[in-house]
């Protein structure tokens, strides 16, 4: 342990990674567990699944939309606006060539009724800076390994 002249502990602690677990359920269905919450993913019947849950790709896009909504909602609250009526609609297109991926995502942010037009640009700027959007803009390092 080191300390500065005030006697405060100045150790640098490496951040611990967050984690989630995925387990096979059956067919094309998997259960994701994160912080005690459970979410399932499946495939549509035309892709061999039972269509009992969204696909992983749909959850990927949903996480972006949810993040945009969260940031927009925080902006509204911070500036004294009600969140009631805030909605986000997202459309996405899959690539038609390889590799398999989402080729385009369009996000439509619908602020509450009565939200002032002169604040729209600021709302969009804040919502566009959400964590998931930033992650997509600054590609993370991804490693797949057998444990």
Provide the CA 3 distance to its chain's centre, in angstroms. Answer: 38
Mean pLDDT for the stretch of residues 103-129 = 98
- Report the alpha-carbon distance of residue 66 to residue 61 in Å, rounded: 9
Q: Please state, rounded to an integer, the average pLDDT across all residues of the chain.
A: 94
Mean pLDDT for the stretch of residues 38-48 = 98
| Strand ranges, E, within the chain | 21-26, 29-34, 37-41, 87-94, 102-110
- DSSP type of residue 6: T
Question: What are 93's two structure tokens?
Answer: 């297109």
Mean pLDDT for the stretch of residues 65-82 = 98
pTM of the model: 0.87
Q: Which residue pairs, CB below 8 angstroms and at least 24 apart, start in 78-85?
A: 79/119, 81/111, 81/112, 81/115, 82/112, 83/112, 84/112, 85/110, 85/111, 85/112, 85/113
């Amino acid at each position: 342990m080191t300390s500065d002249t005030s006697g405060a502990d100045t150790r640098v602690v490496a951040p611990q990674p967050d984690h989630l677990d995925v387990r096979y359920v059956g067919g094309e269905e998997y259960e994701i567990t994160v912080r005690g919450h459970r979410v399932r993913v499946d495939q549509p019947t035309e892709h061999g699944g039972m269509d009992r849950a969204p696909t992983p790709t749909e959850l990927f896009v949903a996480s972006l939309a949810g993040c945009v909504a969260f940031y927009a909602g925080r902006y509204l609250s911070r500036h004294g606006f009600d969140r009631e009526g805030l909605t986000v609609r997202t459309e996405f297109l899959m690539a038609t060539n390889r590799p398999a991926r989402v080729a385009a995502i369009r996000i439509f942010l619908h602020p509450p009724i009565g939200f002032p037009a002169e604040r729209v640009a600021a709302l969009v700027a804040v919502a566009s800076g959400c964590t998931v959007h930033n992650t997509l803009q600054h590609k993370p390092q991804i490693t797949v390994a057998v444990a």
